[in-house]
Amino acid sequence: MKIKYLLLILLAFTVCNLSAQTKRKKAAVSAAAVNSGPPRPKLVVGIVVDQMRWDYLYRYYDRYQSNGFKRLLNEGFTCENTQIDYIPTVTAAGHTCIYTGSVPSIHGIAGNDFIIQATGKSMYCTGDTTVKTVGSTSTAGEMSPRNLLTTTVTDELKLATNFRSKVIGIALKDRGGILPAGHAANAAYWFDDKSGNWITSTYYMSDLPQWVKDFNSRNLPEKYLKLDWNPLYPINTYVQSSPDNSSKYEGKFRGADSPTLPVKTSVLYKGNLGMIRSTPYGNTLTLDFAESAINAEQMSQHAVTDFLAVSLSSTDYVGHQFGVNAVETEDTYLRLDRDLANFFAYLDAKVGKGNYTVFLTADHGAAHNPAFLTDHNIPAGDWSERAALTGMNKMLEANYKVKNLVIGLGNYQVNLNYAVINKEKLNADAIKYDCIKYLQQQPAIAYAIDMQQVQTASIPEELKARIINGYNAERSGAIQIILKPGWFAGFAPTGTTHGTWNPYDSHIPLVFMGWGVKHGSLTRETHMTDIAPTVAALLHIQAPNGNIGKPIGEMLK
């Protein structure tokens, strides 16, 4: 009897063991099915440094530490001759091009703001009144990617993984977070000056996740501003910059006596938390938030690749205010170098070195301040857009007896008032001809080109291609204005701006590092449109549906 019971127990144990093995095998098969795709990194992090000129990689190289920009260059693959394919070179178009591999004529983001030609109404690139702010009582959240006409590489990743990948966009600027994240993103977040919070819109969700609420409750913007902006090093060691009393070229903070360091932000901000945008702390805050997103959303911890699109906006605000040659700009990049080193160290610990891919690029560059150039005997100037608009409308009124036939000259384009032209039954071609004649007489202007006659214009082929790529018939003006080198339409006599075809605006950094990336460099010409298809090739996914770029094969392992 004892033997009988022992045999029954042994049989029951064998059956249970076989059943457990069968379950484990089924689970293994199921897991294999989930992970059966091509090899991919656990996480892709796209970093756009707003207004970063290519030469900033090397201008301050001696003062960068080993684990920030130098790590990208020494471990990664740098494309030394990456050019923007279109004009105007502005933030929204740049971020969109990076992630779509496309140009304004196709993806539709023809500027930060642009005129709908059929109606004459201005549209903000991410403006969307059908959605509401989430996380603040302000209207800063009435934004979405709906004005974007194509997919992004982040959209294509979602499609390739049946929407299992997590995609999140983060930037102080709404357009810097929204456009890279694409249409199908899990979330995009941006900074709200009124509340000092990171916010989003109902396009993505109805309420902020608890982790975002917890992050906002830490009041980091105020804490950073209370630290003041002090230089990292003695002022006399900033030899790559003009003396820190160049008030002629630099703009000061409201309430400050001069545009010099240190800046007593603790005194000057007076509850205006938006001041953090124009300090290096804005970049620090953005990367703090990026780390919190990776932690809370468990990015890189899934069976499929996740994608974090980060844009660092403060470099643009600092550049506009202080210009290319300021101590404040140099200090901002030295501080950003430290922030990047800390961020890469965080990724190493969290995701694992070699398990993630990073690329760093810029949406556009920046020009030297015209007064700075002319003081050094270099041709330059500041073109008055307002004066040109007033003069052109007066000329047209004299010719056609109708007021305000030109709406504006934004994006270096003549936007005609087609509603009035059609109502008065005027000849639009004759008006364009008169405008071009007027513009060609202005000393700042090299060319004024009818958008519909670009192919036959007597201008360099390189300019023809960039004009055609930037021209969206529904959202771009009728005439493209090309200023002489060194000239721009300035907002003030101090600081700088961007928007032209010239190398200072169109030559951008592009460095890849991490999983799937060779170490090396490339000097042949590459393009902003090549970034998205290169990332797509790395991930073995389809390129965005408006892509015209080509993968940079030399970079791929």
Distance (Å, whole) CA 93 – CA 104: 7
Is the CB of residue 472 less than 8 Å from the CB of residue 116? no
Active site residues: 91
Give Cα 348 distance to the centre of its chain: 24
Residue in 312, 289, 272 with CA at minimum distance from that of residue 216: 289
For residue 522, the one-letter residue type is L
Is the CB of residue 56 less than 8 Å from the CB of residue 504? no
The number of beta carbons lying within 10 Å of the beta carbon of residue 20 is 10
Write out the DSSP string of 377-399.
T---EE--HHHHHHHHHHHHHHH
Is the CB of residue 50 less than 8 Å from the CB of residue 176? yes
Distances (CA, A) of 111 to 86, 125, 444: 11, 7, 22
Write out the DSSP string of 244-292.
TT-TTT-PPPTT-SSS-SSB-HHHH-TT-GGGGGGSTHHHHHHHHHHHH
Cβ-based burial of 348 (10 A; exposed 0-12, middle 13-18, buried ≥19): middle
Which two structure tokens, joined as six digits, stand for 417? 């008032």
Cβ neighbours of residue 178 closer than 8 Å, sequence gap 6 or more: 126, 143, 144, 145, 169, 188, 190
Unique residue bearing structure tokens 């006599």:
493
Cβ neighbours of residue 277 closer than 8 Å, sequence gap 6 or more: 172, 191, 193, 313, 314, 317
Phi-psi region of 250 (alpha: psi -120 to 50; beta: other; left: phi over 0): beta
Distance (Å, whole) CA 56 – CA 51: 10
Phi-psi region of 520 (alpha: psi -120 to 50; beta: other; left: phi over 0): left
Question: Cα 293–298–304 angle (5° rounding)?
Answer: 120
For the chain, give me the number of helices (H) and strands (E)? 20, 21
The number of beta carbons lying within 10 Å of the beta carbon of residue 394 is 12
